[in-house]
Amino acid sequence: MSVEVNDAPTDTAVASRHGLDLHGLSPARPVHWNLSPARLYEEALRRGEGRLVHMGGFATVTAPTTGRSPNDKYTVREPSTESDIHWGKVNVEVTPEQFDGLRAEVVEHLNSHELFVRDARAGLHPEAGLDVRVVTTNAWHNLFAYNMFLRPSAEELEEHRPRFTVLHCPELQVDPEAHGIRSHTFVVVNFQRGEVLIGGTRYAGEIKKSIFSVLNHLLPGHGILPMHCSANVGDDGDVALFFGLSGTGKTTLSADPERGLIGDDEHGWADDGIFNFEGGCYAKVIDLSPEGEPEIHQATQKFGTILENVILNDADRSIAFDDGSITQNTRASYP
């Protein structure tokens, strides 16, 4: 179906009837809604966002930012969060006025760029899942959101109304002094507005981790424990959880050919069981080999997989997994 959004040209698979005006956006350039991976490949290659990889993956470089920026994360301090968050060096506060100032620049930036919209869901639990929307200026970041979040049906997409929206401007450079923040990179969560602002970083992990932070705050109120862990299940229904910081082997341990994968990074523990927050995996792939991690290696050889900051062999565009010259934090995102 084709839907007009604020008079801007639209290219869409299925678009929600709740358009970008819901977020105060009036884009002057084309808007692409919920495109398929193949269409996103075409757009990303057309726009020079990355390169095609041997066996079908898509490689892109996020440098100079090749990992998450923990010192550039902020939460708006307002009545709904005042007493629920332990404010300090980890949970850094900004005022509603600071948020509004950053948001004005984000909206201006988005309105002047071609946009890619992804409607999705975080959390497989039927009663505690979160409807999300990602609005970004890059096709490959939209593909990342497709890979990493749960993918609604066409019927669900038509009625999709996000509870949380990520306004994603990876190329936007703001003046940190003008906004009272540490650097030009920012990830700001506003629970009252149901929005996340991301700017100044192309590292895609910020998209998924920002929604994970939102779920960490919301789900305990539903009696659900959010967990940073991977999980798999045996034939008899026995579940194993693997806890650890990023890059410590959670994905590797959960990718067991003898057990079913629940997920590799973010889960909830409810009264009725363990459930995945995500619809894909985000594996660290430095020194990856088919012998050591066969299932993850196989996933990197498929169409739809995003390879972040890997080095490609010039001759055949195969991946040099042992080359960490851009970063040791090379990543693969796949559904």
- 210 a catalytic residue: no
Q: Which among 209, 267, 284, 297 is annotated as catalytic? A: 209
- 23 a catalytic residue: no
CA-to-CA distance for 233 and 274, rounded, in angstroms? 10
- 331 a catalytic residue: yes
Q: Which among 113, 179, 208, 331 is annotated as catalytic? A: 331
- 39 a catalytic residue: no
What CA dihedral angle connects 49, 60, 38 and 313, to 10 degrees? 120
Q: Which among 26, 69, 213, 246 is annotated as catalytic? A: 246
Beta pairing partners, 261: 232
CA-to-CA distance for 134 and 197, rounded, in angstroms? 10
Q: 3-state class of 264 per DSSP?
A: coil
Contact status, residue 133 vs residue 117, Cβ threshold 8 Å: yes
The contacts of residue 164 (CB under 8 Å, 6+ apart) are 130, 131, 132, 133, 194, 195, 196, 211, 214
Q: How far apart are the two ends of the chain, measured CA to CA in Å?
A: 25
- 153 a catalytic residue: no
Tokens of 90: 């980890």
DSSP assignment of 41-92:
HHHHHHTTS-EE-TTS-EEE--TT--S--GGGEEEE-STTTTTTS-BTTTBE
Q: Which among 23, 68, 141, 168 is annotated as catalytic? A: 68
CA-to-CA distance for 151 and 156, rounded, in angstroms? 9
Q: Which among 228, 259, 302, 317 is annotated as catalytic? A: 228
Contact status, residue 295 vs residue 283, Cβ threshold 8 Å: no
- Angle subtended at Cα 264 by Cα 302 and Cα 304, rounded to the nearest 5 degrees: 20
- 228 a catalytic residue: yes
Q: Which among 125, 250, 284, 297 is annotated as catalytic? A: 250
Q: Which among 265, 267, 297, 333 is annotated as catalytic? A: 265
Q: Which among 251, 254, 327, 330 is annotated as catalytic? A: 251
Give the active site residues: 68, 209, 228, 246, 250-251, 265, 331
